Chains A and B, each alone.
Chain A
Amino acid sequence: AQSVAQPEDQVNVAEGNPLTVKCTYSVSGNPYLFWYVQYPNRGLQFLLKYITGDNLVKGSYGFEAEFNKSQTSFHLKKPSALVSDSALYFCAVRSMNTGFQKLVFGTGTRLLVSP
């Protein structure tokens, strides 16, 4: 079965500092990996994805994520955090196997960037 773990309920970082939001996954076969962001009272917005190729993926708003197959991780990163990055972040995975269509989400990590 597919699963995603986001081990931190909340990440606190000062504005201007680098941030990391952690994600590990478990799937049958090779994964498709995604990060989504949710601002208060809004739906989820797509940030970035890993399908194949380069392990470092760049996405919206200056975010990037690194796929690490040996550690089954897909941590979200940003070199310099902004207060406006404060939101709820979700990691998600689906298998490349055609029998697994469902996108499975982690429990979310709340990012709080202080001025």
Chain B
Amino acid sequence: GAGVSQSPSNKVTEKGKDVELRCDPISGHTALYWYRQSLGQGLEFLIYFQGNSAPDKSGLPSDRFSAERTGGSVSTLTIQRTQQEDSAVYLCASSSAWGDRGSTGELFFGEGSRLTVL
């Protein structure tokens, strides 16, 4: 597609339930990022995928959080046993690969998935 697509745009869930958030990056972008933005806060890095390399999971806040990227394209962020503190906007971004010809690494963001845990 023309831009980064995220779904759902809004998700309300009950504490303890699992949620899945989906990101469809820009076609041809090999790098994909997940960030979390809590109300009034900055962007917290969660995870980064680059091609077939092992993802950088250094930002995942707990083992309840996981992400996968299938076929080098679509990514799913899964939060198990959600807690109220997980309420935030989850932003996905993609970019061309570092080192690709002409790449200067700016990220293109989706509109985000707003998660509310009751």
Using Cβ atoms and an 8 Å threshold, which residues of chain B touch A105? 35, 42-43, 45
Please report the C-alpha to C-alpha distance between residue A90 and residue B93 in the assembled complex, in whole angstroms: 15
B12 close to chain A: CB less than 8 A: no
Number of interface residues of B (CB under 8 A): 25
Interchain nearest-CB distance for A103 vs B (Å): 6
Interface flag for B65 (CB, 8 Å): no
Identity of the chain B residue whose Cβ is nearest the Cβ of A49 in the assembled complex:
B106
Name 13 extra pairs, CB < 8 A, besides A43-B110, A45-B109, A103-B45: A42-B111, A43-B4, A43-B91, A44-B43, A44-B107, A46-B106, A46-B108, A51-B104, A101-B98, A102-B56, A102-B58, A104-B45, A105-B45
Residues of B within 8 A of A (CB): 4, 31, 33, 35, 41-43, 45, 48, 50, 56, 58, 91, 93, 98-99, 104-112
Instruction: Count contacts on A: residues with CB < 8 A to the other chain.
Output: 21
CA distance A105 to B111 in the complex (A): 17
- A residues touching B (Cβ–Cβ < 8 Å)? 32, 34, 36, 42-46, 49, 51, 90, 94, 98, 101-108
A108: nearest chain-B partner, CB-CB: B42
